[in-house]
Chain A
Amino acid sequence: MPKDANIKKVLVIGSGPIIIGQAAEFDYAGTQACRALKEEGVEVVLVNSNPATIMTDKDIADHVYIEPLNVYTLQEVIEKERPDAVLPTLGGQVGLNLAMNLYEDGTLDKYNVMLLGTSAESIHKAEDRQGFKDTMESIHQPCVTSEVVHDVESAIEFTNSIGYPVIVRPAYTLGGTGGGIAYDEYMLREICDRGLNLSRVHEVLIERCIAGWKEIEFEVMRDSAGNVITICGMENLDPVGVHTGDSIVVAPTQTLANKEYQMLRTAALDIISALEIEGGCNCQFALNPESYEYAVIEVNPRVSRSSALASKATGYPIAKVAAKIALGYTLDEIPNAVTGKTTACFEPTLDYCVLKIPRLPFDKFTTASRKLGTQMKATGEVMAIGNSFASALMKAVRSLEQNVYSLRMPKLAEMSTERIREQLSVVDDERIFACAEALRRGITPEEINRITKIDIWFLDQVDIIIQMENELKQGVPNSARLRYAKELGFGDSLIAELCGSTRKEIRDLRKRYGIHPTYKMVDTCAAEFDAETPYYYSTYDVENEAIVDFTGKKKVLVLGSGPIRIGQGIEFDYCSVHSVWALKRQGFETIIINNNPETVSTDFDIADKLYFEPLTAEDVEHVVELEHPWGAVVQFGGQTAIKLAQALADMGVPILGTSADGVDAAEDRERFDEILRKCEIPRAAGRTVYTTEQALAAANEVGYPVLVRPSYVLGGQGMEIAYRDENIVDFMKIINMTVQEHPILIDKYLMGREVEVDGVFDGEDILIPGIMEHVERAGIHSGDSIAVYPPLHIDDKHKQTILRHTKNLAKHLGVIGLINVQFIIYNDTVYIIEANPRSSRTIPYISKVTNVPIIDLATKVMLGQKLKDLGYGTGIYPEADYFAVKMPVFSFEKLTDVDINLGPEMKSTGECLGVAETFPQALLKAFKGANMKVPKKGGRVIITVKDEDKGEALSVARELEDLGIELYATRGTYEFLTKAGVTVKMVNKMGQAHPNMQDMIQSGTIDMILNTPRRSKREDGDGWKIRRMAVEHSVLCLTSIDTAHAILTARERGRSEKLVPVDITAI
């Protein structure tokens, strides 16, 4: 069936801020789909609260609303834009739920808006637990024995009938939020209670535990004619029990014979047919490893993280095809973009092995429980492609950027064999390393399989790696052995380390033996058809397909930013992609290297060539040796790319823009201080130290409180505020747990107003598109602060100082391109906090709200053009006449044992934006976008703050009282507030007589808690418990008085007028 001519304008709902379980994959899918819609001449209206996305660019959609994702916003947008249809399957669970809400409340009917792709009935059948069970029964697809319950007692009753352990799965939550495995009644009560609270419909599923079965996923597609195809079958290395988002996943399936494979493939196709989905669908199965018995675990009638992975693994653009199907096309009418000759109606076949490893945040959240279960914890993932499992695994491990380049982990190497055996039964992110260590100790694959249930095939493959390690330990390898080691994915430096040589020696040896990588194409068809997709991965095979043609264009290499992690999010992919586009417009041939399957940058039609490879010096060098780029761009790929600047320079590749030396000057304390002195830019007194003794001396010299942080980090990793000697001792201990090549910085902590700027510098002139002011005072990481543009409280003289300092700094650092500088205004003086000669996480949003194409300008400047010729002027760009508030978004409910208090170390996973004509309205939108429920009249708030904050808490309390909010406080705060004349009730602390704070939080009658943590973690045990409990019961908990003030501002003044959605393409 050809395209439906009635669909002229389509509303696309995005997925909102990046949180654990919902990351960049939806920007990738959404961007691809929007481009597909536009290709068909459809007008696209986009709503997404996440400003760091590419999909919210003006050139991706026709009308862009960066607004809170809620029913109200969508109703307003529909009322204003009058779309013909809505595409609900691209915005993850958030988008799907919202579309369902709009359907259920009659909005879609009222405005005559069609639901594209998949009907509401189908969504209901797939998403509603009971509806799903009934549908599966009707087509004879086995589900795991389970029951939907709405209260804890029913859960216990049902579990008693089927026996422990059981899995608890809350309905309508992301990434299994709040779920878990209960082994006894006590655990069941706890998990069930939490799950019920988190479920939108107060519903959980209690399910027979089939932990240990194989977990198999199929990505399938269907069109309106009923054509059904499988895109990719994937197998989880981790058996059922670990959320698929936290599992190591391989594609295609490896341990299934044809019979089992076809059985599950047919089941997946039967499911998508029964649900009558028009578009893509993900089906997850559990397969008993000892029989044909299987069960359907979950079905997602939309694009998902798995579909993004399947797209990158196969080269099949699922979101694009899904969008075209939604418009009415059938699969056989849609061309296969990879071959250009065949159609989308076929099944991709792989001639390589793909492996995904999740990127977990435990390096950031050192106190978090590393255990993996049904609750997803990963913030991102890496993918690697190889012609063997071993090479894909080794490449993926290297891509993680966790300072691990093999399956060897020092802390495991130190353990006794008995400990290792015990370690095998611990299901955490290090299990694959424990398996490798076990094999090294001679524990057999059979025994490891008995403990872990990981299929023996995977363990045999890991054993191949271990055997090679052993061979290499015997000395410098001969040609055949070296070739085999390279085939297995061993890096030169690893080989060198094992055989007692140096990386350079191994590299030279390799060259002498003529061992160098060849690149193969990802073509969807295992070479059956001639394909022209410039999407490559490395092997050590005979034929190289990445033929370097002379196109007459200069080639520029753009390094991506690797896996998404806290501190390095989707923003850097935004920057990389825009840089590629800018370079293409300037007539360059672009080459991108990246390893993140969730991103737009790894879509094969972004750069002229895509190398899906780890971002290490060696892997990059291989590409450089083949392509001989004219230049390389590193300033857009976050710390990942910046770290490779020196290596690239050593390879003789000119770094476009700021040189490796400029990067070093900004990071090297002494050099940086020298530049500051020259430019007369004041900064807080500080020292560079290496040892605890030096740190203590330095802290006492500059005077407490001080900021302690390692240099060369992103996102304030390891940064803390120390108030006295014992803090320093504690922090140094933690910092020194990982090897420190670089010194540690001790700075005087100034508590002033924090300001941040991004600038483009061309060597002579600077352009500052906008100055951002932080709502929270200094001390909270900029990524976790609420930021306002344009600034509210900055005098013109300070703005001019900021401009002067930024320009001077850029000049002296040798910046060409981007610079991000953070300042603090303290006692009427502008101090500098830090400067980074690279893109920052604020670039996407500031580009959007100022209409200055920052990356495009920076790229042009890097190529030698001058700002004065580029049409956006120099100096500070005129301020907009509306406000934009950037709000951090956290994923604390997914991570147990993580403190939610904000500090110098970044903790947020994403952000949303509020845009409005007034500051309070923009703020209110931002709060709504972050799903922070502002307390209303009659609501209840608990205040419990440390002594230093009591004075400021008073004004908050008064305002809350004026709003008609009932106040509670713990003893100290209570006494203070009562004395000041505020009506407040006392609440007992945790552990004191009931009813206490715990009871109040658990009862769900509290709307907000204001808790400022005490100065030392040791003193703050109770506060920690309060904050965790608040998170687990979805109670808003603020840890900064400034945030509380902001909430009040939004509450009082933002409410007075109607919130109007703003189309940012129209401003």
Chain B
Amino acid sequence: MKAILILENGQTFVGESIGSTRDCVCEMVFNTSMVGYQEILTDPSYAGQGVVMTYPLIGNYGVNHEDSESRRPWAEALIVRHLAPRGSNFRCEDTLEHYLVEHDITGIQNVDTRAITRILRKQGVMNGMITCAEHFHVGECLEKIRRYRVSGTVERVTIPEVEHYPGPGYKLAMYDYGQKTNMIKRLNDRGLDITLYPAHTPAQVILDGGFDAVMLSNGPGDPADCGDIIAEVKKLYDSDLPIFAICLGHQLMALATGAQTRKMHFGHRGANHPVRDLAKGRCFITSQNHGYVVMRESIDPNVAEISHVNVNDGSIEGLRYKNKNIFTVQFHPEASPGPVDTDYLFDEFLDMIERHKKGAC
């Protein structure tokens, strides 16, 4: 079936419908990873967004149950050049096409994904719509497209109830703003006993919970929209608990301590972003997915120091908080998809908890 992608700037791309045929309006972003489409689709940070995969051959290895980063796909739409007729891999359980249908995710293929990417890169991230309608009015669609705004996404993606992932080690409270399962796996693998809390859990619950440390997860949307959450994060900051935060968590901590964030032109989404760890004096290739960034000039040097910088554009990739057991990163050390080169950060977190425990005793 024919499908049309309409971009906010009025440009249209005619392709073929894949997945759901439901009309879909969302923010269009591109991801440059060559593998990991399933992890990307199921990353809650993509809530409210349609993902253009720059790699043209998608669906090659199908989908399986173990590679999902959350309970369902959260991306609103998938835009690909060619969808494989079926997956080929020893773990393959389903075709990507069927998976999209099953989860009612709208998609389009046979469009010039590189041209779309170039538009987003030059003109910045913009909204768009995919429709399979035979007759539609571009003007009306554009109105709808322009009106769209990603909002309330954290509320949508966070878990409704507390979940527990037992482990023999330290007790960790993790805020689920839209966490990826691999974060839990990486910490569980290190023995941590993890309790996962819904995004709006008051800090006091955590502070009273007898935890050894706190983890703030990644998540979707504009961090500045999360006013209530930021107030709770501030309380955590004021406690002496070791805290590690990733992506949205990193931005929320920055906002809670007086820094500011801004929306980026087209963001960082991919698996090849070089980041310099200033303490180590080395660069690491990281997995990234963010459209907002902490503004360098807004950081109070008495509060936090920059620990990681993006080698490509110099943007802030990590902060270490002064006189606190807190460090946060913009990128995704839990990878999935992408390189696991910064997995050492979980070890550093563990060391931090350990040191803190020893110091406390």
- Chain A interface (Cβ within 8 Å of chain B)? 225-230, 252-262, 265-266, 269, 289-291, 331-332, 341-343, 345-353, 387-389, 455-457, 460, 464, 520, 525-530, 541-543, 545
Contacts and interface: CB of A to CB of B under 8 A. Distances in A.
Nearest to B91: A257
Given A227-B282, A457-B84, A527-B121, A351 B54 contact: yes
Contact of B311 (A343, A460, A543): A343
Contact of A527 (B39, B111, B117, B282): B117
Interface residues on B, range: 35 or more
Contacts of B336: 258
A463 to B, nearest CB: 8
Given A388-B81, A460-B84, 9 more contacts: A228-B341, A258-B39, A260-B89, A261-B35, A332-B274, A387-B81, A455-B88, A520-B114, A541-B115
B258 to A, nearest CB: 31
Contacts of A255: 60-61, 88-89
Nearest to B34: A252
* Most chain B CB neighbours (cut-off 10 Å) among A228, A260, A526: A526
Interface stretch (B136-144, B233-241, B265-273, B321-329): B265-273
A387 B285 contact: no
Contacts of A347: 271-272, 274, 285, 339
A387 B270 contact: no
10 contacts: A252-B34, A257-B38, A257-B64, A266-B341, A332-B283, A388-B81, A456-B88, A460-B86, A527-B118, A528-B121
Nearest to B115: A543
Contacts of A387: 56, 81-82, 114
Nearest to B118: A527
A259 B67 contact: yes
Contacts of B117: 351, 526-528
B57 A389 contact: yes
A346 B312 CA distance: 8
B61 A257 contact: yes
B343 to A, nearest CB: 9
B272 A346 contact: yes
A352 B60 contact: no
Contacts of A543: 112, 114-115, 118
B273 A346 contact: yes
A349 B270 contact: yes
A185 to B, nearest CB: 34
A349 B311 contact: no
Nearest to A524: B272
Contacts of A341: 312
B148 interface: no
Contacts of A289: 90
B261 interface: no
Contact of A349 (B33, B64, B115): B33
Contact of A269 (B34, B36, B341): B341
B32 A388 contact: no
A266 B340 CA distance: 7
Contact of B88 (A258, A291, A331, A457): A457
B335 interface: yes
A447 to B, nearest CB: 15
B274 A343 contact: yes
B34 A350 contact: yes
B274 A526 contact: no
> From DSSP, what is the main secondary structure of chain B's interface residues?
loop
B13 interface: yes
A824 B197 CA distance: 91
B54 A526 contact: yes
Query: Nearest 8 A-B pairs (CB), nearest first?
Result: A543-B115, A258-B36, A347-B272, A526-B54, A457-B88, A258-B337, A542-B112, A541-B112
Nearest to A458: B88
Nearest to A262: B340
B95 to A, nearest CB: 11
A526 B60 CA distance: 19
A457 B85 CA distance: 9
Contacts of A331: 283
Contact of A351 (B36, B39, B114): B114
B57 A353 contact: yes
Contact of A256 (B35, B39, B273): B35
A346 B311 contact: yes
B61 A528 contact: no
A541 B311 CA distance: 32
Contacts of A456: 86, 88
B88 A527 contact: no
A456 B118 CA distance: 33
Contact of A265 (B90, B311, B339): B339
Nearest to B89: A257
B107 interface: no
B113 interface: yes
B211 interface: no
A826 B122 CA distance: 71
B55 interface: yes
B96 to A, nearest CB: 11
A256 B61 contact: yes
Contacts of A352: 56
Contacts of B38: 257-258
A262 B339 contact: yes
B220 interface: no
Contact of B335 (A226, A262, A530): A262
Contact of B274 (A257, A266, A346, A530): A346
A509 B56 CA distance: 28
Interface in B48-85: 54-57, 60-61, 64, 67, 81-82, 84-85
Nearest to A521: B114
A351 B56 contact: yes
A353 B60 contact: no
* Most chain B CB neighbours (cut-off 10 Å) among A226, A256, A345: A345
Contact of A526 (B55, B64, B122, B281): B55
Nearest to A526: B54
A290 B311 contact: no
B276 interface: yes
A847 B134 CA distance: 67
A257 to B, nearest CB: 4
* Most chain A CB neighbours (cut-off 10 Å) among B67, B84, B276, B336: B84
Contacts of A258: 33, 35-36, 38-39, 67, 336-338
B167 to A, nearest CB: 22
Nearest to B336: A258
Nearest to A540: B112
A387 B82 CA distance: 9
B105 to A, nearest CB: 19
Interface string B309-332: 001100000000000000000000
Contacts of A227: 282-283
Contacts of A457: 60-61, 84, 87-88
A230 B338 CA distance: 12
B159 to A, nearest CB: 24
A406 B87 CA distance: 25
Contacts of A542: 13, 111-112, 115
Contacts of B64: 257
Contacts of A351: 32, 54-56, 113-114, 117
Contact of A460 (B67, B85, B115): B85
B255 to A, nearest CB: 27
Contacts of A342: 311-312
Nearest to A288: B90
A252 B33 CA distance: 11
A352 B283 CA distance: 27
Contacts of A348: 272
B334 to A, nearest CB: 12
Nearest to B119: A543
B347 to A, nearest CB: 15
B114 A541 contact: yes
B64 to A, nearest CB: 8
Nearest to B61: A257
B88 A257 contact: no
Contacts of B84: 457, 460
